[in-house]
Chain A
Amino acid sequence: MNALRLYGRYVGASLRVQAQYPAATLLLTTGHLAATAIEILGVFALFHRFGQVKGWSFGEVALFYGLINITFSIADMLTRGFDVFGTDFVRTGAFDRVLLRPRSATLQLIGYDIRLSRVGRILQGLVVVVLATNLVPIHWNPAAVAIAVWAVAGGVALFAGILVLQATISFWTIESLEAVNVLTYGGVQAAQYPLNIYADWFRRVLTFGVPLACVAYYPVLAILKRPDPLGAPDWILPLTPLAGFAFLALSFLAWRAGMARYASTGS
């Protein structure tokens, strides 16, 4: 069985488990939708009060908000195995079993627990994107759609990279470090607004440290057909999501180094 088919099996198994409890799954999905949708309420309240922020309208910010939420929820859905790696695999010793199987650990971890409830947040993001489309309005020609899909793909890679790093750290700490939430949930929080409203140091962190701006801010500028107020040349905007894939690649290098020094907790 090749890797892709095996992954399909993993996904199928996960979904079947959740289909056994349709009411619970639906409740969790709705809850996740409600819990994440309140953020847009806060954004709305601020715009209602102030009108605009540094030249950005509510509709435009809604596009940033919608896309980064869709991006993160897809990543969150697919990378559960890495998220709970420290607590559920390293500490318990379950990772030994993963290593014994004649398949790559990465594949098994990606296939671990695909959570349908994250669809709630994807829906929420989509609704906000539709809202943004009507408010701005945005013309979704094939080029714009392509950039959006490409940006989301790069963003999923970036968030996956962050979670792989979190998992890598747990080779040393034996626990999943919640402090990484600063980059995942906090990253979503930061990328909901256009980069130029932030302080200088924070922009640099978001561009060169954890390249969230490259998967959210720059490609969205290209969709909105707005020149960068910070002066990045137009041609570079659609290329920036590449940074997400680069980040993921680097994360996997770190992951390999961690794997090489893995010692079972023996429990």
Chain B
Amino acid sequence: MKAVLRPYVAAFRARFLLLLQYRVAALAGFATQCWWGAIKIMVYAAFYETAAAAAPISLPNVVTYTWLGQAFLALLPWVADPEVAMLIRTGGVGYDRLRPLDTYSYWYARTLGWIIARALPRAILMLIAAGIVLPLVGLEAWAWRPPAGPEAAVLFVAAFALMIMLAVAVLMLANVVVAASLNERGVNAVLMPLVIVFSGSLVPLDFFPDTMRPFLHAQPLAGLVDIPFRIYFANLRGVAALEGLALQAGWTLVLIVLGRFAMTRMMRRLEMQGG
């Protein structure tokens, strides 16, 4: 087993360590996200001050939701892996096909390394700023709170892992479309708005009109933000939380199967570029 996994782990590590070098980009992203989070929270606070009773989630939870969202923004699958587009354009994909490896798993591992490395430094900085510094300077009301309890914390760890697996599964589909169309711009233009709206990154999904709820809660992208974050502050607990996890796992599997199928078809028709 270990020998089988080794090349994929190596692909993940290589990408992860390379991207951790970009400290300035991480700092700039962090500054932007702090600002963004602050504006979002002030807007929520104003709405809650007007009519708090109308809200589906309490204000402290929405504040936590916002900071979680900003911290893990880079985990959202809104742009296809730029390296895949480059591999296709330069013909580098030929080398990947020659490796005695499963190409889907190989790309999956690399894309996984890419998004985690992008997200990790920002998430840590955000946790320090919103989770530790804000309460210390007396702004507890606006801080990122710890999970609702031990049960929520354990469930969140599972939901968080599934959220990343799901994100990469979505990205793999995007990667395949990029490879088939030789261009990442079109895919990204479609993917980004869809992901931001339907994941709950724009506003928690329950803020949308009630009639849309059944659909919003069942669609795959809910597992990227809405489900894991609501598990975090126990808005989803007990059976509802387990259902959420099942939904995340189910959609991840479906998307991986779809991605594999699409990739096999794409590879069969792929014409090698470059020289």
Q: Do A and B form a real pair?
A: yes
CA distance A6 to B144 in the complex (A): 53
- Chain A residue at minimal CB-CB distance from B31: A179
Residues of A in contact (CB 8 Å), total: 37
Q: A45-B208, A189-B36 are in contact. Are A177 and B28 (CB under 8 A)?
A: yes
CA distance A202 to B142 in the complex (A): 15
Q: A30-B189, A42-B202, A46-B207 are in contact. Are A53 and B42 (CB under 8 A)?
A: no
Taking the closest CB of chain B, its distance from the CB of A71, in whole angstroms, is 18
A50 x B51 contact (CB < 8 A):
yes
A51 x B185 contact (CB < 8 A):
no
Q: Which residues of A contact B209 (CB under 8 A)?
A: 45, 48
A100 within 8 A of B: no
A38 x B196 contact (CB < 8 A):
yes
Interface set, chain A 83-111, CB cutoff 8 A to B: none
CA distance A51 to B188 in the complex (A): 34
Taking the closest CB of chain B, its distance from the CB of A164, in whole angstroms, is 19
Q: Which residues of A contact B197 (CB under 8 A)?
A: 38, 41
Interface set, chain B 39-55, CB cutoff 8 A to A: 39, 42-43, 46-51, 54-55
- Chain A residue at minimal CB-CB distance from B48: A50
B28 x A46 contact (CB < 8 A):
no
B193 within 8 A of A: yes
Contact of B189 among A28, A186, A193, A198 (CB under 8 A): A28
Q: Which residues of A contact B190 (CB under 8 A)?
A: 31, 34
B25 within 8 A of A: yes
A232 within 8 A of B: no
A186 x B202 contact (CB < 8 A):
no
A199 x B196 contact (CB < 8 A):
no
Most A-side CB within 10 Å, residue of B42, B43, B48: B43
- Chain B residue at minimal CB-CB distance from A32: B189
Residues of B in contact (CB 8 Å), total: 36
Q: Which residues of A contact B208 (CB under 8 A)?
A: 45, 48
Contact of A46 among B24, B29, B188, B203 (CB under 8 A): B203
A52 within 8 A of B: yes
Taking the closest CB of chain B, its distance from the CB of A121, in whole angstroms, is 13
- Chain A residue at minimal CB-CB distance from B53: A50
Count of chain A to chain B residue pairs whose CB atoms are closer than 8 Å in the complex:
96
CA distance A55 to B118 in the complex (A): 41
CA distance A189 to B51 in the complex (A): 22
Taking the closest CB of chain B, its distance from the CB of A173, in whole angstroms, is 9
Q: Which residues of B contact A45 (CB under 8 A)?
A: 202-203, 207-209
Contact of B32 among A34, A179, A190 (CB under 8 A): A179
Q: Which residues of B contact A42 (CB under 8 A)?
A: 202-203
A16 within 8 A of B: no
Q: Which residues of A contact B39 (CB under 8 A)?
A: 186, 189-190
B31 x A51 contact (CB < 8 A):
no
- Chain A residue at minimal CB-CB distance from B47: A50
Taking the closest CB of chain B, its distance from the CB of A3, in whole angstroms, is 34
Taking the closest CB of chain B, its distance from the CB of A60, in whole angstroms, is 14
Q: Which residues of A contact B250 (CB under 8 A)?
A: none
Contact of A181 among B32, B192, B193 (CB under 8 A): B32
Q: Which residues of A contact B27 (CB under 8 A)?
A: 179
A35 within 8 A of B: yes
CA distance A51 to B207 in the complex (A): 12
Q: A45-B203, A45-B208, A48-B209 are in contact. Are A182 and B193 (CB under 8 A)?
A: no
Taking the closest CB of chain B, its distance from the CB of A181, in whole angstroms, is 5
Taking the closest CB of chain A, its distance from the CB of B90, in whole angstroms, is 20
CA distance A185 to B43 in the complex (A): 16
Q: Which residues of A contact B207 (CB under 8 A)?
A: 45-46, 48-49
Taking the closest CB of chain A, its distance from the CB of B35, in whole angstroms, is 5
Q: A42-B202, A45-B207, A198-B42 are in contact. Are A50 and B32 (CB under 8 A)?
A: no
A27 within 8 A of B: yes
B94 within 8 A of A: no
Q: Which residues of B contact A41 (CB under 8 A)?
A: 197, 202
A-B contact pairs, 16 of them (CB 8 A): A27-B185, A27-B186, A34-B193, A35-B192, A45-B208, A46-B47, A46-B203, A49-B47, A49-B54, A49-B56, A54-B50, A178-B32, A179-B28, A193-B43, A197-B46, A202-B42
Known: A34-B189, A41-B197, A54-B49. 11 other contacts (CB 8 A): A38-B196, A48-B207, A50-B50, A50-B54, A51-B50, A52-B51, A53-B47, A179-B31, A186-B32, A198-B42, A202-B38
3 A-B pairs closest in CB distance: A31-B189, A197-B46, A178-B28
Residues of B within 8 A of A (CB): 24-25, 27-29, 31-32, 35-36, 38-39, 42-43, 46-51, 54-56, 185-186, 188-190, 192-193, 196-197, 202-203, 207-209
